[in-house]
Amino acid sequence: MTELEDFAARLKTLTDGRASAPRIKEGVMTLALDVAGLSEQQRDAVAAAIREGALTVPGVQDVRIAMTAERRPLKIIAVASGKGGVGKSTLSANLAVALRRLGVRVGLVDADIYGPSQARLMASEGSKPQAKDKQLIPVQSPFGIPMLSMAHLVEPGKALAWRGPMAGNALSQLIEADWGDAELLVVDMPPGTGDVQLSMVQKHKPAGAVIVSTPQDLALIDATRAVSLFEQTHVPMIGLVENMAGYACPHCGEVSDPFGTGGAEAAAGEMGMAFLGRIPLAIDIRRRSDAGDPPAAGDDAHGAAFRAIAEKVAAWLKGGI
């Protein structure tokens, strides 16, 4: 690796992928830096760090950084299921964490207005979002992911009495918050396929949808319903995730399949959509989720399973839009 290549690699980490490839001409290094969403202080700090690093590359006497504030449109991925309890929220949280670890600047919206669980899953219970000019400012989770959930805004159970339009408005406020430099929002959709889901999809036009199902036939039938909601509204399908696929024995790690195996993958094939992977039913996943310690933040087998799904989603995003 040349010194310049080495610097270019460091630059990527240093700027979180915001800098263009550096060029050197007559002792002057030039590069473009996308500063959208950064505060003045953050800009200055990044620029100073780039300068310092650049001047250590042999032959570089001066550095010119062109700052651009191109605001890239925020893409939305909707994570949906036909019914509750299949692990949609668990998958959303872990997908967000795994995508973040892959370098995607991701935010998380808990659109499950009637049963919000992301604040617990992402260890941000008790945080209160601020508002600026009527726009919400997301709270920060410990995983480098800004997020908003109804649970941050109202007392538990209070949203239960809300009817369609009110729930829809609340959801829009979460999605239209000030997401700073995030490039992608993972939206944990409310379970089912009613009016709230339909109007969210029509209004916010997700770039793609991930469907979560368990292996049982019944859940798969429900999943088919979720798929048709997105088809009707012309939202591209990213693929299907099978959750609670096989039971991972906490003692020996052996996976057994009380509901059979391969059903979701076959169903994905029949529906003409990609199969993104399977997550086993494991006590450790439930325990860690309840404790606000998403398995995707670690590197064990469960972490790897979520990461593999996130890699497919990230690849889809790169080629799919």
Residues facing residue 67 across a β-bridge = 33
Q: What is the sign of the dihedral through the CA atoms of 313, 224, 75 and 89?
A: negative
77 is a site residue for ligand ADP (CB under 6 A): no
Task: Go through 110-131 and write b for each residue having 16 or more CB atoms within 10 A of its CB, e for each that does not.
Answer: bbbbbbbbbbbbbbbeebebee
Site for ligand ADP contains 86 (CB under 6 A): yes
Q: Answer yes or no: are the C-beta atoms of 29 and 60 closer than 8 Å.
A: yes
Alpha-carbon distance of 79 to 287, in angstroms, equals 22
Alpha-carbon gap, residue 237 to 223, rounded angstroms: 12
Name the DSSP class of 261: S
Task: Check binding of 88 to ligand ADP (CB under 6 A).
Answer: yes
Q: How far is the CB of 245 from ligand ADP (least distance, A)?
A: 8
* 68: β partners: 34
Piece of the chain touching ligand ADP by CB under 6 A; list 66-74, 81-89, 256-264, 306-314? 81-89
Token readout for 172 is 């829009």
Lookup: tokens for 72: 């890239």
Shortest distance (Å) from residue 284 CB to ligand ADP: 8
Q: Which stretch binds ligand ADP (CB under 6 A): 8-16, 60-68, 87-95, 139-147?
A: 87-95
Position 109 contacts ligand ADP (CB under 6 A)? no
SS3 59: coil
The verdict on 117 binding ligand ADP (CB under 6 A) reads yes
DSSP 217: H
Q: Quote the DSSP letter at residue 83.
A: S
- Name the minimum Å distance from CB 291 to ligand ADP: 10
**Position 87 contacts ligand ADP (CB under 6 A):** yes
- The span of 31-39, 40-48, 86-94, 103-111 binding ligand ADP (CB under 6 A) equals 86-94
Q: Sign of the C-alpha dihedral, residues 172, 173, 175, 178?
A: positive
> What x/- string results for residues 159 through 198 when contact with ligand ADP is judged by CB under 6 A?
--------------------------------x-------
Contacts (CB under 6 A) with ligand ADP, residues 270-309:
279, 281-282, 285-286, 289
Nearer to ligand ADP, 16 or 284 (CB): 284
Q: How far is the CB of 121 from ligand ADP (least distance, A)?
A: 8
205 binds ligand ADP (CB under 6 A): no
| Binding-residue total with ligand ADP (CB under 6 A) | 18
Residues 6+ apart with CB under 8 A from 314: 99, 102, 104
Cβ at position 95, least distance to ligand ADP in Å: 11
> Which residues here bind ligand ADP, judged by CB under 6 A?
81, 84-90, 117, 191, 243-244, 279, 281-282, 285-286, 289
